[in-house]
Chains A and B, each alone.
Chain A
């Protein structure tokens, strides 16, 4: 079963004068399989947060269906297996992290024993055990983000939705969050997160959906998206004259020659020639498109 399935999702907002309608989502179609990390990629204003708010019934779709573990997102119970971290999270700042976790756990009807156990574990996970009795109003943005992640995981969540989770985190915080997200996948959880930081996404996602102007422009496994676009093959060799390797152009570095072919047949031909001339092949590397390049290509097409 899919953790999330969105079919033909449309959403418009009226301007304050009720005359003009802004069509934000224009038929979003996507699915998130159980146990995967799904990266929801798009520039600012593409509709990422609007989609997430529709999923969580914070705003209502004009058209389309959203299913969470097979249940319509209009039912409150569909969110019983979902944890959510909003972008720029705001929590009751008169509470301490421990109280916030206890409050959140209460909304999932967890028992006192479960709450104590989960709270202690999660505060440890996000590195806030020492600050569990300090009111949130005294916390920095990064620390609030950590508490936000802890509350999203409080009920041993099966499906975690994170809206721009890396914003506001320092490099160490980002590394820690990446580790946490990967560990969630390892423990069988599903993660759906939005970001425009491609580097973070490329390092851990299984599948990516690229949203532009309210539509999913590309969706697929990260490996497929980037391997579809092998830009060229790079051969590094030595021990023979570069002209004999069957390439019109080459570069040299530290006594090694580097040639590039965009075609795999030409690459095979060069490898054969280098071997026949008793040359030494140091490496043959397919240089793939990065996620950033895939993203920018889509952006240019849009």
Chain B
């Protein structure tokens, strides 16, 4: 049952032309890094990596948000949900199936973009860095968190509001680490508690950021990566649980 829902979600996503457009744009943007590198004085390979990875990052996040916000809402809006819920499946299986389907879609999108980019980097720079695979893996974990955020909003809100909430949280997730800096500098108890609260509650994508290590060819810390994996699993799990709780309460009039 879980596989059926997941596979159908994947099928729906890949039958949507917007998906191919975003993947194609991601590839084009990543490849266009060569133009930027040609205009650069200095380390051209560094620019190739920097711009290329940022482009893939951006378009994968777009796919995660814009596919995710429609995941459940569309089922309710188009009333296909009646057909699903009348079958012997629990609502939690439905939510998990939807999540796994989008996770598979993102894996395919990211894999396609990264393979093309890898090939391109190899042709342009004559060398490739195996650490980029770790970068893509950590990017994928971030995408799973974004998917679970958009899925949660999708289970009770409209696509427009869901996209606003998800994009806001995504932007905040990139600066959440600053709360950690604040809390060390704040004197009052309340301010410290608030900083702690935001630091631990909001998604924190700094935990997945190894761009500097890759671009500057530094060594990767295994403990850092394990910590990032555990963080992604716990955060995604908690959001999925929340989505299930919200969805279980929901009635479809």
- Contact (Cβ within 8 A) A60 B251: yes
A113 at the interface (CB under 8 A from B): no
A151 at the interface (CB under 8 A from B): yes
Chain B's nearest CB lies how many Å from the CB of A256?
55
In the complex, A129→B159 CA distance in Å?
37
- Contact (Cβ within 8 A) A104 B87: yes
Chain A's nearest CB lies how many Å from the CB of B232?
29
- Contact (Cβ within 8 A) B83 A89: yes
In the complex, A161→B5 CA distance in Å?
23
B246 at the interface (CB under 8 A from A): no
With A90-B78, A91-B80, A106-B4 as contacts: A58 and B85 at CB distance below 8 Å = yes
- Contact (Cβ within 8 A) A92 B12: yes
Set of chain A residues within 8 Å of B90, measured between Cβ atoms: 76
Set of chain B residues within 8 Å of A290, measured between Cβ atoms: none
Interface residues of B, CB < 8 Å — how many?
A: 26
- Contact (Cβ within 8 A) B252 A103: no
Chain A's nearest CB lies how many Å from the CB of B91?
8
Set of chain B residues within 8 Å of A59, measured between Cβ atoms: 251-253
Contact of A13 among B79, B83, B88, B253 (CB under 8 A): B253
- Contact (Cβ within 8 A) B12 A86: no
- Contact (Cβ within 8 A) A107 B79: no
Residues 79-102 of B, flagged 1 when their CB comes within 8 A of A and 0 if not, give 111111111111001000000000
In the complex, A151→B90 CA distance in Å?
19
- Contact (Cβ within 8 A) B88 A77: yes
- Contact (Cβ within 8 A) B88 A86: no
With A13-B253, A58-B251, A59-B253 as contacts: A108 and B82 at CB distance below 8 Å = no
Set of chain A residues within 8 Å of B82, measured between Cβ atoms: 53, 56, 58, 84, 86, 89-90
- Contact (Cβ within 8 A) B251 A151: no
Contact of B79 among A86, A95, A104, A151 (CB under 8 A): A86
In the complex formed, the residue of B with least CB distance to A13 is B253
Residues 70-106 of A, flagged 1 when their CB comes within 8 A of B and 0 if not, give 0000001111101010101111101100000001101
Chain B's nearest CB lies how many Å from the CB of A119?
14
B8 at the interface (CB under 8 A from A): yes
Chain B's nearest CB lies how many Å from the CB of A163?
9
Chain A interface size range: 20 to 34
In the complex, A95→B83 CA distance in Å?
14
Set of chain B residues within 8 Å of A91, measured between Cβ atoms: 80, 83
**28-84 of chain A: CB within 8 A of chain B:** 53, 56-60, 76-80, 82, 84
In the complex, A80→B87 CA distance in Å?
7
Chain A's nearest CB lies how many Å from the CB of B24?
20
Contact of B86 among A60, A86, A94 (CB under 8 A): A86
- Contact (Cβ within 8 A) A94 B12: yes
Q: B5, B7, B88: which has the most chain A beta carbons within 10 Å?
A: B88
Contact of A90 among B4, B5, B11, B79 (CB under 8 A): B79
Set of chain B residues within 8 Å of A104, measured between Cβ atoms: 83, 87
Contact of A79 among B8, B11, B88 (CB under 8 A): B88
In the complex formed, the residue of B with least CB distance to A11 is B251
In the complex formed, the residue of A with least CB distance to B78 is A90
Set of chain A residues within 8 Å of B86, measured between Cβ atoms: 56, 58, 79, 82, 84, 86, 161
Set of chain B residues within 8 Å of A161, measured between Cβ atoms: 86
B217 at the interface (CB under 8 A from A): no
Contact of B87 among A60, A88, A89, A108 (CB under 8 A): A108
- Footprint of B on A, CB under 8 Å? 13, 53, 56-60, 76-80, 82, 84, 86, 88-92, 94-95, 103-104, 106-109, 151, 161
Supply 28 A–B pairs (Cβ within 8 Å), ascending by A: A53-B82, A56-B86, A58-B82, A60-B251, A76-B89, A77-B88, A78-B88, A79-B86, A79-B87, A79-B88, A82-B86, A82-B88, A84-B83, A86-B79, A86-B83, A86-B86, A89-B83, A90-B78, A90-B80, A103-B4, A104-B83, A104-B87, A106-B4, A106-B7, A107-B5, A107-B89, A109-B1, A151-B83
Please provide the 4 A-B residue pairs with the shortest distance between their CB atoms, ordered closest to farther. Answer: A106-B4, A84-B86, A107-B87, A80-B88
- Footprint of A on B, CB under 8 Å? 1, 3-5, 7-8, 11-12, 15, 78-90, 93, 251-253
